[in-house]
Structure 1
Amino acid sequence: MSSLTGTRALTRLALRLDRVRLTVWVLGLAVMPMGTAANYLKLYPTQQDLDAVSGVLSNPSLVALSGPLNGVSIGGLTTWKIGVTEFILVALMSLLTVVRHTRTEEETGRLELLRATVIGRHAPLTAALLTAALANLAIAVLAALGLMATGLPVAGSVALGLATGLVGILFAAIAAAAAQLTQSARAASGIAAAVLGGTYLLRAVGDSGPTWLSWLSPTGWGLHMRPYAGERWWVPLLFVGFAAVFIAVGYVLAGRRDVGAGLLAERLGPAEASPGLRTPLALAWRLQRGLLLGWTIGLALSGAVLGGAAAGIGDLESPNQQLTDILDRMGGRNGLTDAFLAAIFGIIGMVAAAYTVQVTLRLRQEESSGRVEALLATRVSRLRWAASHLVFALLGTALLLAVSGLAGGLAYGAQIHDVGGQVGRVFGAAMVQLPATWVLSGFGVALIGLAPRLSTLAWAALILSVLLVELGALFGLSQRIVDIAPFAHVPKLPGSAFAVTPMLWLTVVAVALGAAGLAGLRRRDMPVA
């Protein structure tokens, strides 16, 4: 029997299981570039309009945020606006898909049942990679066709679509290697996501400073393909080469471990728990501390890098209406630097919300894995168990935002020699994001309590929020539609007046959703498969 026996059947199974999830991902990521280009055609109908805005977008601070504007054209502007966001989202889709169909299947025991049939050793990993590759191929083709349909040049459209698909395939390969290292899907996803975050920071620093750093980042490679600006058709070789290396590593590691095990073996604990681990909160801390530490380090670095970049906004010699429009859409009005800080901490708030959702959904993971049954068989109540994890979703997110705000304030204050005056302002810009993240946590709890099989829709809510806030104005959506996103109600600090009312309403909504979810969790059957 070949090691790939059963690959076709497993691929069909994966595509069937993900038919809704992947369809949403593919259509959303394929439509975004086309919609962005169509709207820029309306906003900047003449070359004179494009020339006016191009000088603004060359500012190092904006380059750090979204990358360089490689070509003064609608295509170049579309790549600047949507490129990095598209690359990050397609990378997330790919790594989550691969981990879900490899490590998650092992962790739940389903893969062991499948391997009792005629299934080769490498068939599951191959099927997961093929599923991710097909999704990325569909995104690349549809995105390119959509851009061409708006009238953009064929070569640039193909280059941008190809760059998007290749970024996704590379991170699918990275996830394939990461899935062999640990025993938990959460840790494997965390490793791959940490690599993604690191590549974003390398690109941000490299694009606004030492250029060679951006060549260490796959998201930087996508921009270095220069769609619509003299395409570099040799850059895809970097993606192909590194993807091949990570896939080979994944296959080698998969052949050297047992099913359900990881190369990084977990240490056996003592026969009896220490007194500090004999409460649900202490157990939750033991389970969550590694994740919290990793996110804290990542957001501290992000806050410092982007906060330090804000000082460059003041170098603009002749701010104009185009810049005002751009920064308005990014989230601010009163002053260029304040608008930039409001924009970047709005983004950091949405990134921190990913941690919030991840920790909230740990409740569902503990239930579906069967581990919670043993815990609830003791004197621990359902609400007490749930509260032990939600503490980290609520207060852990507050810690992440506080650390990023402090790091950003220190970096920005040091750049302009006013640390004492800026730390508090930037810290406030970070902390006002907190109630919006709590709404997403409350939504996740509501799903877990009332419709547990749909709990992954909490991720869909986060992605929808990001798209509405970042692209809603550009696409000309009604403010009522944009207001569906909780982050649309966050005060734009620093610079704007602090409004208590929306913060209170966001908190009320979060509490109401959480209370409904906890009530449902208390009454429904457990576990629900």
Structure 2
Amino acid sequence: MATATVAPVLGALENQPRSGPVTGWPSILRLQLRLDRIKSLVWIASVVALVVVSAISVSELYPDEASVQGYARLVSDNAAVVVQAGPGYGLQTDPSTGAVLMNELSLWTIVLVGLMSILLVTRHTRSEEETERAELLRSTPVGRHAAGLATMVNALLVNVVAAGAVILGTIASGFGAVGSIAFGLALCTSGLLFAAISLVAAQVAATGRAATGIGLAVLAVSFLLRAIGDVTGSFLTWLSPIGIGQGVRAFADERWWTPVLSLGLAAGVTWLAAVLAARRDFGAGMIPERAGRPAATRWIQGPFALALRLQRGALLGWFCGIVFFSAFYGALASEAEEMLADNPDLEQFFALSAGSSITDAFLASAVLILALLLAGYGISGVLRLSGEENNGRVEALLATPTTRTRWACGHLLVTAIGCVGVAAAGGLAVGIGAAVTTGDSSLVAEMLWALLAYVPAVGVLAGVAFVLWAWVPRLAILGWVGLVWSAVVGLLAQLLDLPDWVVSLSPLDHVPS
């Protein structure tokens, strides 16, 4: 946090009396908006660009009723599509290009604004307390809940601007105003709900990394609950913020009460965060960190062992998450086979697009998603170097005979071994799940090697993040751009009709099928 940026705010806060629990929140909000001006614009531009380009592509790919009806037949009762897109509101009763757009886009756009909101809230709450920068503001007459209120207003403004731009962009692309407004409201209220959840996580966790992990875990669980609920037609969909957001049924007989539900839940969760904040000590979490040993054990006295000790929690979390997702996708493989009997159009589609069976095509899609998650672990592991440096924990280590190169190589080696181990476990999980449901035991080895084949490409993405950190530490965060682009190419290349040379910019695109 630059001194030149903070100083005017501190001066304004020092000149006001302390009169309430939220005193000073407007000044803190102005500081946050100034600090986030670039990040917020990038997030908003990314969301809007994704929606507008997708809207234009859908209009070109499905220009008439016949093409829309063909799409509806392809995805009708397709469990694999439901898991990766949604229930397809309106496609069975009144197919339209708007319904096609929502089926292709709504899930991932809600996930994107959820991720944006989680990172924004954690950055301005728990991370500020962890690095002790928040003490600068607390030394002035500000209320206990001022930072939390300012952060939620910040999240509200960012989500409102993103939603408003999405509404205008969708209407400008030729889609109806009513459905566009419903979609925008769903995005805004879903983002606010995830922001409120992240605010609770900031009270519970003792570190910014743990708070972010809790927020991302809730996002992942929301995805799973929505997927299971949509496939089985159960109430589980309504336990998921993502499911509630998609439940607005944009362009398909809109249900306007679902954004109100999301907004009400966001208000309730925010109130819970305020209650928790009032009951904890400043700088501490509701779940305190376990006290460490007074001295390091023999096995931890080395760069590699220290890096493993620091990363073991994150590694375990990514390991469990990817293995769980892998088993879940593998268990759906039999659903893909059963769809062929009743949908010859779907069989022809997969034969033309993948040149293989529908089971192979579905599993290839599942492995790609797992590879994207694996890349997320790889990049986060490498960027742990940046976190350790920014938090001031490296100086004491480098004061010993340990060199900067040995310290960095320790973290890189842990991340590399972790990527291989997680990929192997994930490949086995999806293979075993598919083998159990389809009866084809050969899928175990095939899926194992399929996911391991992505490890070099993941290494490229992680390597780019490392180079950015080593070159200009402030640019380290741009390491995530490669993952975002790979996700866009892998998940939306056909929808966006991207040229081959653009697709080839993704390292994951060069992995053999």
Q: Same fold (TM over 0.5)?
A: yes
Q: Secondary structure at the match of 2:252?
A: coil
Give the match for residue 507 of structure 2: 486
1:285 is the counterpart of 2:308: yes
Indicate which of 16, 20, 29 corresponds to 2:47: 29
Counterpart among 469, 477, 483 of residue 462 in structure 1: 483
User: Residue in 1 aligned with 2:146?
Assistant: 123
Q: Offset of 1:335 from its aligned partner?
A: 2.5
| Structure 1 residue 460, shift from structure 2 partner | 2.2
Tell me which of 384, 387, 408 is aligned to 2:406. 384
Following superposition, the deviation at residue 245 of structure 1 comes to 2.0
* Corresponding letter in the other structure for 2:340: L
- For residue 288 of structure 2, give the secondary structure of its aligned residue in structure 1: coil
Among 409, 422, 426, the residue aligned to 1:400: 422
Change (3 A) 1:288 1:253: same
Give yes or no for contact 1:57–1:68 (8 Å, CA) kept in 2: no
Please give the alpha-carbon distance, in whole angstroms, between the structure 2 residues aligned to 1:193 and 1:366: 21
The offset of 1:468, in angstroms, is: 2.9
> What is the distance in 2 between the residues matched to 1:432 and 1:130?
44
Measure, in 1, the Cα distance between the counterparts of 2:261 and 2:320: 29
Report 1:101-500 matches (<5 A).
Answer: 101-314=124-337, 315-317=339-341, 318-320=343-345, 324=349, 328=353, 332-418=354-440, 420-492=441-513
> Is residue 106 of structure 2 the alignment partner of residue 83 of structure 1?
yes
Amino acid at match of 2:250: P
> AA paired with 2:475?
L
Worse-superposed segment, 159-168 or 252-261: 252-261
Q: RMSD of the alignment, in Å?
A: 1.7
Alpha carbons of 1:73 and 1:323: their partners in 2 closer, same or farther (altered >3 Å)? farther
Which secondary structure state, in structure 1, belongs to the residue aligned with residue 279 of structure 2?
Answer: coil
Conserved in 1, the CA contact under 8 Å of 2:427 and 2:452? yes
Number of matched residues? 488
CA distance in 2, matches of 1:333, 1:379: 57
Q: CA separation in 2, counterparts of 1:277 and 1:321?
A: 55
**Misfit runs of 4+, over 3 Å:** 317-323, 325-328
Instruction: Evaluate the alpha carbon distance shift between residue 147 and residue 327 of structure 1 in structure 2; reply closer, same or farther with a 3 A threshold.
Output: farther
Aligned-residue offset at 1:475: 2.1
What are the Cα deviations for residues 113-135 of structure 1, in whole angstroms up to 9, with x where unaligned? 12112322111111111111111
SS in 1 for 2:394: helix
CA contact (8 A) 2:350 2:357 kept: no
Which amino acid in the other structure matches residue 362 of structure 2?
Answer: F
Quote the offset at 1:241 in angstroms: 2.3
Matched, 1:63 2:96: no
Q: Per the alignment, in what secondary structure is the counterpart of residue 203 of structure 2?
A: coil
Residue 364 of structure 1, CA deviation: 0.6
Provide the TM-score with structure 1 as the length reference.
0.89
Helix, strand or coil at the partner of 1:429:
helix
Q: C-alpha offsets along residues 441-499 of structure 1, whole Å, 9 cap, x if unaligned? A: 1011101111101111112222122123322332232211221111121222xxxxxxx
1:13 aligns with 2:16: no
Give the residue type in structure 1 aligned to 2:107.
Answer: V
Deviations 1:151-191 (A, max 9, x none): 22222111111111111111100010001112210010001
Q: Distance in 2 between matches of 1:160 and 1:398?
A: 40
TM-score under structure 2 length normalisation: 0.92
More deviation in 478-487 or 166-175? 478-487
Partners of 1:205 and 1:305 within 8 A in 2: no
d(CA) in 1 for partners of 2:221, 2:159:
22
C-alpha distance in 1, partners of 2:347/2:362?
14
In the alignment, is the contact (CA less than 8 A) between 2:74 and 2:346 conserved in 1?
A: no
CA contact (8 A) 1:64 1:309 kept: no
Shifted more, 280-289 versus 19-28: the winner is 280-289
Is 1:4 aligned to 2:22, yes or no? Answer: yes
3-state secondary structure, aligned to 2:163: helix
* Contact in 2 for aligned 1:164/1:222 (Cα 8 Å): yes
The answer (yes or no) to whether the contact 1:112–1:259 under 8 Å persists in 2 is no
CA 1:323/1:97 → structure 2, altered by over 3 Å: closer, same or farther?
A: farther
Separation in 1, partners of 2:96, 2:355:
26
Aligned CA distance change for structure 1 residues 407 and 207 (closer, same or farther; 3 Å)? same
Distance (whole Å) between structure 2 residues aligned to residue 60 and residue 467 of structure 1: 22
- Quote the offset at 1:270 in angstroms: 2.3
Q: Is the 8 A contact 2:332 2:434 kept in 1?
A: yes
Q: Does the residue aligned with 1:179 lie in a helix, a strand or coil?
A: helix
* Structure 1 residue 234: Cα displacement: 1.2
Q: How far is 1:102 from its partner?
A: 0.8
> 2:73, 2:345 within 8 Å by CA — same for their partners in 1?
no
Residues 344-366 of structure 1 deviation map (CA, whole Å, 9 limit, x = unaligned):
11111112211111111110110
Separation (CA, whole Å) in 2 of partners of 1:486 and 1:428: 17
In the TM superposition, residue 269 of structure 1 has moved relative to its aligned partner by: 1.9
Distance verdict in 2 for CA 1:412–1:133, change over 3 Å: same
Q: Structure 1 residues 414 and 26 mapped into 2: Cα distance closer, same or farther (>3 Å)? A: same
Q: Percent identity, aligned pairs only? A: 40
Q: Are the structure 2 counterparts of residues 325 and 409 from structure 1 closer, same or farther at C-alpha, using a change threshold of 3 Å?
A: closer
- In structure 2, runs of 5+ residues without a counterpart are 1-18
Report if the CA contact (8 A) 1:159-1:225 is conserved: yes
Shift of 1:310: 2.4
In 1, Cα distance between equivalents of 2:45 and 2:57: 18
Contact 1:26 1:139 in 2 (8 A): yes
Residues 200, 283 of structure 1: alpha-carbon distance in 2 compared, 3 angstrom cutoff? same
Unpaired runs of at least 5, structure 1: 493-529
